[in-house]
Amino acid sequence: MIIGDAKNRTLVPSVAIAGVVTVAGLALPLDPALQYTLIGALAWAIAAIGLDVLVGFTGQVSFGQAAFVAIGAYATSAFRLSMGLPLVLAVVLGVGVTGVIALALGSVVVRYRIFGIATATLFFGYVVVTVLTGDTFSTVFGGANGLAVPEFAGLEAGGKGYLAVTGVVLILVVVATCLLNDSQTGRAFRMVKTNEAVAASAGIRVRQVKMISFAYCCVLAAIAGVLYSGVVGYLSPEGFGIKQSVNIFAMLVVGGAGTVGGPILGALLVTILPGYLLRDGHVSAVVFAAVLLVFLILLPEGIYGLVHRWATVLGRTVPGLSAAALRSRSRWATAGRAGPRPPAETPPDRRSSGSDTGGLALEVDGLQVRFGDFVALSQVDVRIESGSVHAIVGPNGAGKTTLLNTVCGLYLPSQGDIRIFGSSIRGVKPHRIRDRGVVRTFQTPAIVPDLDVVANVKLGLDTDLKGSLWTDLLGPLATGGRERVLESRAQWALDAVGIAARRRGMLARNLDLSEQKRVELARGLVGQGRLLLLDEPTAGLSADEMQALAQTLRQVHRDFGLTIMVVSHHIGFIRDIADAMTVLDYGRVVGTGTPDDVLARADIAATFMGVETAPLAEAEDL
Ligand SMILES: Nc1ncnc2c1ncn2[C@@H]1O[C@H](COP(=O)(O)OP(=O)(O)OP(=O)(O)O)[C@@H](O)[C@H]1O
């Protein structure tokens, strides 16, 4: 289970875990074998954190992590031994080569879904071990005999000095990873993990995001490889096979995937338990398997999640602790949670862009969409005036969602054309359609459950205010200004949709359905969107909630001149907000015009029994 804490709350505990383990290792008079194993565990923790960014945060998978540890270790050693390069240059080149190989492999594997990535990385790991074992490159990599690693700048392998260096590198990796996960890039990781199609329609370059995550994962593996090679002093290919990749996975399971501190705890347990405490191979394998099973079945949130849960319960039951927790939280909380809010920015007025003041926002001409032999939409024509609210109605299965999905590029038409603000979207990718101002909400709110409310709304702006991986890794020093703008606009949008300030620091999964729909709407409003596609925003809402939503929509429509295309089954709601409507039935348009005109038609009323001119509170389903 993924824990995914809210912004910045992972940094302190994660650094604390890495720091305490390092300081304890330095301060305590450890048995040499335990100290040696501990350094190895800290090195593997770095590889595990890398894998967690890919698995726990981005929702992908890799069974080749040990192979990338090997590449980093072997490449650095080979640069030193074969080319006589100094240590620092060899490390930079060794890690750099691993990054380049990761990008090359990543450019292929990110095209596939999880099964494809798993298979490709598994196969890649096998190839790496085979190449390292074979004779072809044995003069460089030592073949089956392995490679002796020269000493690291006079540091005794397994000594306190080496432990200190490994601990410091681990702490730096923890800080960088926490900053990355709390940044624009980290938000995109989690959106991709939640739903790739939704992420694409929100403007996220899904493949690019998966590439960044994969490359980061592999670079951390290479850093781990460099440190590991120094402590073992000898590299042998069989130490980097599929078994070790599975071990790294086990570190996530045991420690807690989707956290930064969890993999450190997992690495300690998975490395020290069989490597030091249970040195008999057979007993070790059985106990190790049993521990893994216990965590998989009984503690899916891992050690970190368990401690987090206990701490939360303790914080609730012990008044003093609770107050202390609140104080510490408020220090890290951003505006809208506990601290003062930055002044809300005036949101962009889409009407100033010119094209929204007249003409057509959307033109759908002769659209046909097929799923195999099934024709979901046929000869569909829709015209939506700029700045208007246009409802799409029809019975279940009429093709309403299919129409929205085709307009935002998730489905491809088999015939016909769609023009948005005058430009055809034929062959245009979903994230590029988002760049043209098409913003989408979904029938089941497509929020990221493990992000807080404000971060969810920021996702709607991230594609307009683009950052970069490098600035994201530097954290507030480099991204503070942009994050303040994002924060301010997110707060404005949350004001606009009526989410209470005290609810904005919560993880989005803890909101009720109506709030989740509002958060998704806020994400749609916050950016440079000009055409808002709302898929059944009223589904599952009470009459009061529906009325409040209609009021919100009327207000944002009036204030920002958005064009809105809304699918709904609630005729009262449609009468309340729509200027025009199109009725679909069996994938064909059966009526279009103003709501009053269309609903006055006897054939439409006959098709949709139960359509009444009832007030909103009594609105009936179609
Ligand atoms: N990806 C898909 N593959 C195959 N068939 C699909 C797919 N998506 C939709 N359909 C089919 O296309 C038809 C239209 O579905 P769609 O979801 O667009 O209807 P809808 O009007 O939005 O219905 P509802 O009001 O129940 O959401 C349905 O028969 C549905 O089963």
Q: At 603, which CATH number? A: 3.40.50.300
How many structural domains are present in the chain?
A: 3
Q: What are the residue ranges of helices labelled H in 53-183?
A: 65-81, 87-109, 114-133, 138-141, 160-181
Query: What span, in angstroms and rounded, lies between the C-alpha atoms of 399 and 380?
Result: 10
User: Are 568 and 551 in contact, with CB atoms under 8 Å apart?
Assistant: no
Tokens of 11: 């940094």
Residues 254 and 300 in one domain: yes
Instruction: For residue 553, tell me if it sits in a domain.
Output: no
Assign residue 144 the CATH number of its domain.
1.10.3470
Beta 415-420 vs 389-393: how paired, if at all?
Answer: unpaired
pLDDT for residue 353 is more than 90: no
Considering only CA atoms, which residue is closest to atom 25 of ligand 1? 396
Q: Are residues 426 and 482 in the same domain?
A: no
- The number of the ligand 1 atom at minimal distance from the alpha carbon of 404 is 18
DSSP character for 210?
A: H
pLDDT recorded at residue 18: 95
Q: Which of 400, 414, 534 to mutate to test the pocket of ligand 1 (most atoms within 8 A of CB)?
A: 400
- How far, in Å, CA of 132 to CA of 241, rounded? 11
* Whole-angstrom distance, CA of residue 191 vs CA of residue 57: 9
Contacts by 368-373, CB closer than 8 A, 24 or more apart: 368/413, 368/414, 368/415, 368/416, 369/399, 369/402, 369/403, 369/406, 369/411, 369/412, 369/413, 369/414, 369/587, 370/414
107 with 159, same domain?
Answer: yes
Q: Are residues 43 and 176 in the same domain?
A: yes
Are 456 and 420 contained in the same domain?
A: no
Let me know whether 488 and 519 are in one domain: yes
Of 503, 528, 553, which residue sits at a domain end? 528
pLDDT of residue 331: 33
Do 420 and 455 fall within a single domain? no
Asked whether residue 540 carries a pLDDT value surpassing 90, the answer given is no
Q: Are residues 263 and 282 in the same domain?
A: yes
Which residue's alpha carbon is nearest to atom 16 within ligand 1? 399
Average pLDDT over residues 371-383: 94
Higher pLDDT, 307 or 166: 166
Pocket probe for ligand 1: among 367, 370, 371, the residue whose CB has the most ligand atoms within 8 Å is 371
Per the CB < 8 A criterion, the answer to whether 620 and 610 are in contact is: yes
Choosing from 308, 336, 368, the residue where a domain stops is: 308
Domain end point (choices 274, 308, 342):
308
Same domain, 458 and 580: no
In a domain, 458, yes or no: yes
Residue 391, pLDDT > 60, answer yes
**pLDDT the model gives residue 1:** 38
Pocket-forming residues, ligand 1, beta carbon under 6 Å: 371, 374, 376, 394, 396-402
The torsion angles phi and psi of 96, rounded to 5 degrees, stand at -65, -45
For residue 220, the surrounding DSSP H or E stretch is helix 206-232
CA distances from 248 to 50, 78, 129, 271 (A): 10, 25, 17, 10
Same domain for 268 and 401: no
Decide if 545 is inside a domain.
no
**pLDDT score at 608:** 63
| 536 Cα–ligand 1 center, Å | 14
Given a cut of 60, is residue 615 above it in pLDDT? no
Q: What percent of the chain has pLDDT over 90?
A: 42
The residue contributing the CA closest to ligand 1 atom 29 is 397
447 shares a domain with 399: no
Q: 552 lies in a domain? A: no
Per-residue model confidence as pLDDT tens digits over 76-110: 999 999 899 999 999 999 999 999 999 999 998 88
Measured distance CA(39)–CA(230) in Å, rounded = 10
In a domain, 332, yes or no: no
**CB-CB contact of 522 with 336 (8 Å):** no
Tens-digit pLDDT profile for residues 13-52? 899 999 999 999 999 998 898 999 999 999 999 999 999 9
Asked if residue 456 is part of any domain, the answer here is: yes
Nearest CA to ligand 1 atom 2: 371
CA of 370 to the centre of ligand 1 (A): 11
**Rounded Cα distance, 410 and 397, in Å:** 18
Ligand 1 geometric centre to CA of 20 (Å): 54
Q: Which residue has the CA at smallest separation from atom 7 of ligand 1?
A: 371
Examine residue 554 and state whether it is found in any structural domain, yes or no: no
Whole domain around residue 519: which residue ranges? 438-528
Contact 224, 44 (CB under 8 A): yes
> What's 301's DSSP letter?
T
The label of the residue with tokens 């245009």 reads: 428
Which pLDDT score is estimated for 345? 52
Q: Give yes or no: residues 403 and 445 share one domain.
A: no
HSE-CB for 98 with a 13 A CA cutoff: 34
Residue 326 resides in a domain: no
Distance from the CA of 397 to the center of ligand 1, in angstroms? 5
Q: How far is the CA of 197 from the centre of ligand 1 (A)?
A: 16
**pLDDT, tens only, 277-289:** 556 556 666 777 7
